[in-house]
Amino acid sequence: MDWNLKDLYSSPNSKEIESDFKKLEVRSEKFNKKYKNKISNNCSPKLILESIKELEKIYEGLGKISSYSSLLFAADTNNEKYAKFYQDSSEKSTNIRKNLIFYFLSWNKISEKNAKKIYTSPLLDKYCHLLKSERRYKDFMLSEPEEKILDKKSITSSRAFNRLFDQTLNNLEFQLTKKKKTSTLTETEVLALLYDKDRKIRVSAAKSLTQGLESERKLLTFIFNQILTDAKITNEIRGHESPMSSRNLSNEISEKTVEALVSTCNKYNKVPIRYYKLKSKILKIGNFSDYDRYAPFSQSTQKFTFNDAKEIVLDSFNEFSPEMGKIAKLFFDRNWIDYKLRKGKRGGAFSHSCVPSVHPYILMNFTGKIRDVMTLAHELGHGIHQYMSRKNGYFQQNTPLTTAETASVFAEMLVFTKLLDRETNKKQKLYLICSKLEDIFATVFRQIVMTNFELDVHLKAKNSGELSSREIDNAWTKANSKMFGNSIKISEYYKSWWMYIPHFIHSPFYCYSYSFGELLVHGLFAKYKEDKKGFVKKYLELLSSGSTNSPEALVKKTGLDITRSDFWESSMYLMNNLLKDAENIFYKR
């Protein structure tokens, strides 16, 4: 299945795209002329409602073209035609946005007293949270000319290095020798071999991945340093004291809450350390190393077709909620998923929310392993979330990153629970639990490892300038050592694997959101077990709410209070219980 992007545009050469750009340019100019000097202390709720509706339409138009160009490019980064279209679209969109930048800048200049009178008006009920939350940027915004310069220069700074990173990674070749025969693999294919049952193949895959990355060490180090420098400059200009401040601001979460999450996860590193010691005993592997972390148990060698994965996921979703299953089925029936392995295709997986007038699209690289079944569930969780929240309009369809992972992780839990409940063989149940624990550790502890690493290198770059690749290697090793402790030996291969993590380049400090989402879902799942029928309605309402309120307020409707100081510790219950179950099955066999 390749995705069908015709719901956006028929082709990059479509006359409709050119026509839309021209219309959007005219609309943006008219918008600027009409409202430039009217968003002030004297404006009325009616004027704000009228203007924000028009602004939202213009941004949705830009978002539609941007979605199309980025999806084409993600599916084939080798296609020069797509690359040019992607770049040209970015430049045209930036040129149009310059007419719109004044709006929220002007809104944030209105006094708090007058702003509150406006956004609390019944007329602006739909946009109340948006207008209120936009004001959190008040102290970090620049003048209109400065904002225009930053937006325009981003094409040749962070956005340019994002594109260069993608093109470099997606075209790296990894040479693997197996039985005296050498084959050339993509990044996705070589990473998949780290899950192989044969340790020699895992070692070869680790070596191959490292050699491939090392071939572009200078370039990848340069790209990362430019991202660090760009973040440093932007933070200095805007007045953010901490490298993470801007991310926390966009996530509508306090630094205190993030610090509590990170410190709790660091405190509970003993859980994955205990698990990896158990796994080394189950598999009878001495000198357990980083390339052994994902060594499969016997049932993990089972291969799944895409149709197998589809049936498992849809059955799980339908059992939870027929409405959820019905929406998920649309992604298959209407070809909104691209799952094939291809050279030049972006690695990993994502669900792109697109725009409210269309629908989300999912990209993944399906290799037939059980983790791919979980990835499909994960991305469909995102897709359902995005599909249901479209009704809130372009500005409020997407949630902050902190709650963006809620539906995806919950979807994985549904699939896991179904598989576990129907398993009667103790040995197979042990392996299934262990596989789930590894997923949880990858989502909770590994993401905090990456957050610790990012914070470390961003602070080093802030204080001492450009970092050498070996300095970054050392920071990566140090951060991972906290999670592995004495349970895993970090090989020479692993020290450079920071190079292939796209979040460090595309979305600095994104990673803690995965930990947030996973632990939040553990809390939600406990609520679901308490009251299955009543919970489903509350959960679907949460998904359909988008960002119409703060994460704390939206989640509170399900019965959880994530502002509680002990919330993160209480959410560790699930992995603790699963680990105890695994130990009981193994040691009492």
How much is the average pLDDT of 165-178?
90
pLDDT score of 419 more than 90: no
**pLDDT for the residue numbered 333:** 96
- The whole-number pLDDT of residue 257 equals 87
pLDDT exceeds cutoff 80 at 179: no
Q: For residue 94, with 0-12 CB atoms within 10 Å meaning exposed, 13-18 middle and 19 or more buried, which class applies? A: middle
State residue 52's pLDDT score: 97
Neighbours of 211 (CB within 10 A): 16
pLDDT over 70 at 33, yes or no? yes
**181, 255, 509 from 246: Cα distances, Å:** 49, 10, 9
HSE toward the beta carbon, residue 435, CA cutoff 13 A: 26
Q: What is the mean pLDDT of residues 552-572?
A: 88
Nearest to 326 by CA among 402, 366, 383, 406: 383
Residues 6 or more apart whose CB falls under 8 angstroms from that of 390 comprise: 356, 359, 397
Give phi and psi for 322, each to the nearest 5. Answer: -55, -35
CA–CA separation, 526 vs 573, rounded Å? Answer: 9
pLDDT at 484: 96
pLDDT of residue 463: 94
Check whether 271 has a pLDDT greater than 80.
yes
- Domains located in the chain, CATH noted: 5-156 (1.20.140.70), 165-299+444-506 (no CATH), 302-441+513-549 (1.10.1370.40)
What's this model's pTM, rounded to 2 decimal places?
0.84
Percent of all residues in the chain with a pLDDT value above 90, rounded to a whole number: 81
Radius of gyration over alpha carbons of the chain, in Å? 24
pLDDT at 402 over 90: no
Q: Which residues pair with 489 in a beta bridge?
A: 289
Q: What is the pLDDT of residues 210-226, one digit of tens each?
A: 999 999 999 999 999 99
Quick check: 300 pLDDT over 70? no
Q: Output the average pLDDT for the chain.
A: 93
Question: Looking at residues 351-369, what average pLDDT do you find?
Answer: 95
Higher pLDDT: 124 or 425? It is 124
- Mean pLDDT over residues 110-135, rounded? 96
**Angle, alpha carbons 61-63-66 (nearest 5°):** 115
Q: What is the mean pLDDT of residues 257-284?
A: 94
Question: Token pair for residue 202?
Answer: 């895992």
Are the C-beta atoms of residues 203 and 291 closer than 8 Å to each other? yes
Tens-place pLDDT, residues 467-486: 999 999 999 999 999 999 99
Angle at 561 between CA 442 and CA 443, to 5 degrees: 5
Distance CA 568, CA 265 (A): 8
DSSP secondary structure, 440-474, as one string: HHHHTHHHHHHHHHHHHHHHHHHHH-SPPHHHHHH
Tens-digit pLDDT profile for residues 93-103: 999 999 999 99
How many residues can be counted in the chain? 589
- Checking if the pLDDT of 301 tops 70, the result is no
Characterize the bridge pairing of strands 350-352 and 181-185: unpaired
Quote the pLDDT of residue 1.
61
Residue linked to tokens 């956006």 = 8
Average pLDDT of 111-140?
95
Q: Which residue blocks in 178-336 are alpha helix, DSSP H?
A: 187-192, 199-214, 217-238, 245-250, 255-267, 270-282, 306-320, 322-333
**In angstroms, what CA-CA distances link 18 with 69, 87, 254, 483?**
13, 15, 42, 51
Give pLDDT tens digits for 332-345: 999 999 999 988 89
Residue 299 burial (CB < 10 Å; 0-12/13-18/19+)? middle
Query: For position 123, what pLDDT does the model report?
Result: 97
At residue 268, does pLDDT exceed 80?
A: yes
Tell me the per-residue pLDDT of 229-251, one tens digit each, with 9 for 90 and over: 999 999 999 999 999 999 999 88
Type of residue numbered 333: D
How many Å from the N-terminal Cα to the C-terminal Cα in the chain? 43
Pick the more confident residue, 12 or 400. Answer: 12
Query: Mapped to the 3 state alphabet, what secondary structure does 98-146 carry?
Result: CCCCHHHHHHCCCCHHHHHHHHCCHHHCCCHHHHHHHHHHHHHCCCHHH
- Give pLDDT, residue 412: 94
Q: Are strands 337-338 and 350-352 parallel, antiparallel or unpaired?
A: unpaired
Q: Which of left, alpha, beta for 552 (phi over 0: left; psi -120 to 50: alpha)?
A: alpha
Tokens of 272: 């994955």
C-alpha distances in Å from residue 93, one per residue of 71, 73, 153, 165, 402: 16, 16, 13, 22, 27
Q: Say how far apart CA 484 and CA 446 lie, in whole Å.
A: 10
Give percent above pLDDT 70 in the chain.
99
Give the residue-averaged pLDDT of 504-525: 93
pLDDT value of position 75: 94
Phi, psi at 486, each rounded to 5°: -100, 15
- Is the pLDDT score of 302 beyond 80? no
**pLDDT at position 299, please?**
53
